[in-house]
């Protein structure tokens, strides 16, 4: 579970992904749901950003960048990744 998701995140960061890439399509913020309990509701950018920061934190990733913390990587036995992600740093 958590190790697979974190390793996938590490791969994406190495390939240049940033927090901006963890963003849903713009239509989610402009078009309201048409049915179900969320009928008439659209996402709000501020609310989404708070949710994303909380998700990152729950995963043990830096809540601003989404880069897994060294402690998380060590805990998951991924010491070999430490130091390589900050060098990648996302898109240039």
What gap in Å lies between CA 40 and CA 59, rounded to an integer? 31
DSSP 67: P
State the total domains in the chain: 1
Considering the entire predicted model, what is its pTM? 0.84
Residue 8's domain spans which residues? 2-88
- What does the alpha-carbon distance between residue 27 and residue 6 come to, in Å, rounded to a whole number? 28
pLDDT 10s per residue in the chain (92 long)? 999 999 999 999 999 999 999 999 999 999 999 999 999 999 999 999 999 999 999 999 999 999 999 999 999 999 999 888 766 655 43
The domain that holds 56 is classified in CATH as 1.10.599.10
């Amino acid at each position: 579970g958590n190790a697979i998701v974190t390793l996938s995140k590490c791969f994406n960061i190495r390939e240049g992904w940033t927090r901006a890439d963890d963003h849903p399509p713009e239509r989610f913020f402009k078009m309201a749901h048409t049915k179900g309990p969320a009928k008439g509701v659209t996402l709000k950018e501020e609310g989404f950003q708070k949710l994303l920061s909380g998700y990152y934190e729950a995963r043990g990733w830096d809540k601003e960048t989404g880069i897994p913390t060294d402690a998380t990587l060590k805990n998951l036995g991924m010491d070999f990744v430490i130091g390589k992600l900050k060098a990648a740093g996302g898109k240039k």
